[in-house]
């Protein structure tokens, strides 16, 4: 277990008392105030960060959440907000003894307006469950990520989740229409609404996206959902060089156009790691330097199959790819995706892991991996997989033991490299505690002042998720 950031001293927050606990029990019911066996809440998904909360609260509504936050603001009790706890930067787990407010039970309201395709749902709905409920009406959630089976829509909004279909459907900013948020004073803010077009004020609901619990607890989300594609096809290509991958991306955009939904990358070392650490076989004979995964979403299978096969044939024909296959069964499509979606699991099994989630201009995207591999030759293994179509690289580094010097030097090296090449130190995973020390890299002082001022408006007592993305105004 590591404290991911430089040691952050505990703020001037109250210590929990028995009268606090009895207030919480009176407000939400004894069984929803947990003080025992709470490791699954105090430890993050990577099992590498753990805090010392003494209690977990599970309110079932916006109103109960408001009563809790009002009380905590009054008593100066620090609170960390948690959805499905699937995050990768320790944003939803405590640093010290912040109490945990889980949105897991806030999942009563779910309303789809079928003619407009506008969905209003409570924040505790798990992404996959929401998507399954939409399927019955021919709709689909516009985002999909590996954690879909346990991440909650409120947490997706608060984390600014990206995932594997952002290329076609856009980010959550393309879909969020409104949200209910309980701010750090316990006030219930109903921001935005259900209209696709409402230009009557600042679009304050969008502040919730990527807010990481700093401004308030998202308890309800209103968003546009998308028509469920009746034709979903996937192909995988084996590629010799990164420049060929980029040319394949251009070819995919021109040949697949509006049906292109995903364009993912797995580099050769990652594929070898997948084959070594998981019972999963590469779909191609022999090893290649890169693998590209392409998915299309459309409404006419014949039309889509013709376009995808045409794309693969042209890629092979003009030698952009060394090998390529369009999956012709659901099993084959699932296998192709497992190779990509289980790359993180394979890397996690490879030793002590340093995970990155960076955005880079496409011309620099793979250079970072090459320079890191060069720098750490013989000392660490370096993997790269990710959403090439979005310019989002998941560089992962593993070592056999815990290399104390690397712990200190790798993140500064990677993050300074990324910022100096016009990139972002966090594409979709956020800042949390893991990247707290680098949050202002490449940012202007004026922007920092504005962000802190906004934090002060929403959370004047600084009780929400302290020690993380936004320095407290206290
Ligand atoms: C991905 C999630 C896991 C990881 O695979 O696209 O966002 O290892 C990641 O970063
Ligand atoms: Zn990702």
Ligand found nearest the CA of 350: 1
Residue 443's CB: how many other CB atoms inside 10 A?
Answer: 11
Atom of ligand 1 nearest to the CA of 429: 7
Q: Measured between alpha carbons, how far is 170 from 196 in angstroms, rounded to an integer?
A: 15
Q: What is the pLDDT of residue 4?
A: 46
- Are 284 and 238 within 8 A, CB to CB? yes
Atom of ligand 1 nearest to the CA of 386: 6
Same domain, residue pair 258 and 334: yes
- Please tell me the distance between residue 394's alpha carbon and the centre of ligand 1 in angstroms: 6
Domain termination site, one of 318, 343, 368: 343
Bridge partner list, 266: 291, 385
Task: Write out pLDDT tens, residues 187-244.
Answer: 999 999 999 999 999 999 999 999 999 999 999 999 999 999 999 999 999 999 999 9
Same domain, residue pair 303 and 385: no
Specify the DSSP element, H or E, that contains 192. Answer: strand 188-192
Pocket of ligand 1, candidates 429, 432, 434: which has the most ligand atoms within 8 Å of its Cβ, to mutate? 429
- The DSSP bridge pattern shows strands 188-192 and 33-34 to be unpaired
Atom of ligand 1 nearest to the CA of 344: 8
Same domain, residue pair 208 and 238: no
Bridge partner list, 57: 33, 101
CATH number at residue 355: 3.30.70.2740
Nearest CA to ligand 1 atom 3: 344
- Please tell me the distance between residue 22's alpha carbon and the centre of ligand 2 in angstroms: 41
| Domain-located, residue 57 | no
Atom of ligand 1 nearest to the CA of 147: 2
Q: Measured between alpha carbons, how far is 72 from 384 in angstroms, rounded to an integer?
A: 43
Atom of ligand 1 nearest to the CA of 396: 8
Nearest partner of 3 among 52, 48, 54, judged by Cα:
48
First to last CA, the chain: 29
Q: List the domain range (segments joined by +) for residue 253.
A: 231-343
- Domain count for the chain, please give it: 3
Q: What is the pLDDT of residue 384?
A: 98
User: Rounded to whole angstroms, what are the CA distances from 386 to 291, 342, 343, 370, 430?
Assistant: 11, 12, 9, 15, 16
Cα atoms in the Cβ-side hemisphere of radius 13 Å centred on 207 = 20
Q: What is the pLDDT of residue 474?
A: 53
Q: What is the pLDDT of residue 128?
A: 98
Q: Is 135 exposed, middle or buried (0-12, 13-18, 19+ CB in 10 A)?
A: exposed
- Whether ligand 1 lies within 6 angstroms of the CB of 342 is answered as no
Atom of ligand 1 nearest to the CA of 341: 5
- Are 52 and 3 within 8 A, CB to CB? no
Nearest CA to ligand 1 atom 10: 394
Pocket of ligand 1, candidates 91, 143, 146: which has the most ligand atoms within 8 Å of its Cβ, to mutate? 146
CATH number at residue 178: 3.30.465.10
Domain termination site, one of 309, 343, 377: 343
- Whether ligand 1 lies within 6 angstroms of the CB of 148 is answered as no
Same domain, residue pair 134 and 154: yes
- Whether ligand 1 lies within 6 angstroms of the CB of 88 is answered as yes
Nearest partner of 55 among 86, 24, 10, judged by Cα:
24
Same domain, residue pair 258 and 327: yes
Ligand found nearest the CA of 273: 1
Domain termination site, one of 164, 199, 227: 227
Written as six digits, the tokens of 99 are 């109490």
Ligand found nearest the CA of 397: 1
- Please tell me the distance between residue 365's alpha carbon and the centre of ligand 2 in angstroms: 14
| Domain-located, residue 54 | no
- The DSSP bridge pattern shows strands 176-183 and 188-192 to be antiparallel
- Please tell me the distance between residue 387's alpha carbon and the centre of ligand 2 in angstroms: 6
| Domain-located, residue 375 | yes
- Please tell me the distance between residue 396's alpha carbon and the centre of ligand 1 in angstroms: 10
- The DSSP bridge pattern shows strands 352-355 and 392-399 to be antiparallel
User: Rounded to whole angstroms, what are the CA distances from 178 to 93, 154, 196, 302?
Assistant: 26, 12, 10, 38
Same domain, residue pair 419 and 314: no
Ligand found nearest the CA of 337: 1
Q: Measured between alpha carbons, how far is 12 from 348 in angstroms, rounded to an integer?
A: 36
Same domain, residue pair 246 and 283: yes
CATH number at residue 278: 3.30.70.2190
- Whether ligand 1 lies within 6 angstroms of the CB of 357 is answered as yes
Give the DSSP letter string of 65-128. Answer: HHHHHHHHHHHT--EEEESS---SSSSSS-SSS-EEEE-TT----EEEETTTTEEEEETT-BHH
Residues 6+ apart with CB under 8 A from 313: none
| Domain-located, residue 338 | yes
- Are 468 and 436 within 8 A, CB to CB? yes
Tell me which residues of the chain have a pLDDT lower than 70: 1-6, 473-474
Same domain, residue pair 222 and 261: no
User: Rounded to whole angstroms, what are the CA distances from 362 to 229, 366, 370, 418?
Assistant: 29, 8, 14, 12
Same domain, residue pair 239 and 160: no
Nearest CA to ligand 1 atom 1: 386
ipTM greater than cut 0.90: yes
Atom of ligand 1 nearest to the CA of 348: 8
- Whether ligand 1 lies within 6 angstroms of the CB of 165 is answered as no
Q: What is the pLDDT of residue 279?
A: 84
Residue 287's CB: how many other CB atoms inside 10 A?
Answer: 13
Atom of ligand 1 nearest to the CA of 385: 5
Atom of ligand 1 nearest to the CA of 347: 8
Written as six digits, the tokens of 161 are 């989740």
Same domain, residue pair 252 and 197: no
- Whether ligand 1 lies within 6 angstroms of the CB of 394 is answered as yes
- Whether ligand 1 lies within 6 angstroms of the CB of 321 is answered as no
Same domain, residue pair 372 and 272: no
Q: What is the pLDDT of residue 473?
A: 60
Give the DSSP letter string of 401-417. Answer: S--HHHHHHHHHHHHHH
Q: What is the pLDDT of residue 471?
A: 87
- Whether ligand 1 lies within 6 angstroms of the CB of 338 is answered as no
Task: Write out pLDDT tens, residues 221-232.
Answer: 999 999 999 999
| Domain-located, residue 95 | no
| Domain-located, residue 285 | yes
Q: What is the pLDDT of residue 48?
A: 85
| Domain-located, residue 176 | yes
Ligand found nearest the CA of 359: 2
| Domain-located, residue 128 | yes
Same domain, residue pair 361 and 334: no
């Amino acid at each position: 277990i590591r404290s991911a950031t430089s040691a952050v001293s505990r703020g001037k927050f109250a210590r929990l008392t028995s009268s606090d606990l009895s207030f919480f029990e009176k407000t939400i019911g004894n069984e929803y105030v947990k003080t025992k066996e709470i490791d699954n809440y105090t430890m993050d998904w990577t099992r590498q960060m753990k805090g010392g909360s003494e209690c977990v609260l599970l309110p079932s509504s916006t109103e109960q959440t408001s009563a809790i936050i009002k009380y905590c603001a009054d008593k100066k009790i620090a609170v960390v907000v948690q959805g499905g706890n699937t995050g990768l930067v320790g944003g939803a787990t405590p640093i010290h003894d912040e109490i945990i407010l889980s949105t897991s039970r806030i999942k009563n309201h779910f309303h789809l307006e079928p003619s407009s395709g506008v969905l209003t749902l409570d924040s505790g709905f798990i992404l996959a469950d929401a998507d399954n409920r939409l399927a019955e009406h021919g709709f689909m959630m516009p985002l999909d990520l590996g954690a879909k089976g346990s991440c909650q829509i409120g947490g997706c909004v608060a984390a600014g989740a990206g995932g594997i279909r952002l290329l076609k459907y856009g980010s959550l900013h393309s879909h969020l229409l409104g949200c209910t948020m309980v701010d750090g004073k316990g006030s219930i803010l109903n921001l935005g609404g259900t209209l696709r077009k409402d230009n009557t004020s600042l679009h304050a609901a969008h502040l919730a996206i990527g807010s990481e619990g700093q401004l308030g607890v998202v308890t309800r989300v209103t968003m546009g959902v998308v028509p469920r594609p009746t034709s979903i096809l996937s192909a995988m290509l084996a590629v010799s060089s990164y420049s060929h991958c980029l040319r394949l991306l251009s070819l995919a955009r021109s040949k697949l156009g509006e049906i292109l939904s995903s364009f993912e990358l797995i580099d050769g070392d990652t594929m070898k790691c997948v084959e070594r650490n998981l019972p999963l076989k590469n779909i191609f004979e022999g090893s290649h330097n890169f693998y590209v995964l392409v998915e299309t979403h459309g409404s006419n299978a014949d039309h889509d199959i013709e376009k995808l096969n045409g794309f693969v044939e042209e890629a092979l024909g003009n030698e952009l790819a060394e090998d390529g296959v369009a999956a012709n069964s659901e099993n084959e499509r699932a296998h192709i995706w497992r190779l990509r979606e289980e790359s993180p699991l394979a890397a996690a099994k490879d030793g002590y892991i340093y995970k990155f989630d960076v955005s880079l201009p496409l011309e620099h995207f793979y250079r970072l991996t090459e320079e890191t591999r060069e720098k750490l030759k013989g000392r660490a293994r370096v993997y790269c997989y990710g959403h090439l179509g979005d310019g989002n690289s998941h560089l992962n580094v593993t070592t056999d033991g815990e290399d104390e010097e690397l712990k200190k030097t790798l993140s500064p090296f990677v993050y300074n490299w990324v910022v100096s090449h016009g990139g972002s130190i966090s594409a979709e995973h956020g800042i949390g505690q893991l990247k707290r020390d680098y949050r202002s890299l490449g940012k202007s002082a004026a922007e920092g002042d504005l962000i802190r001022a906004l934090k002060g408006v929403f959370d004047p007592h600084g009780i929400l998720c302290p020690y993380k993305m936004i320095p407290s105004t206290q």
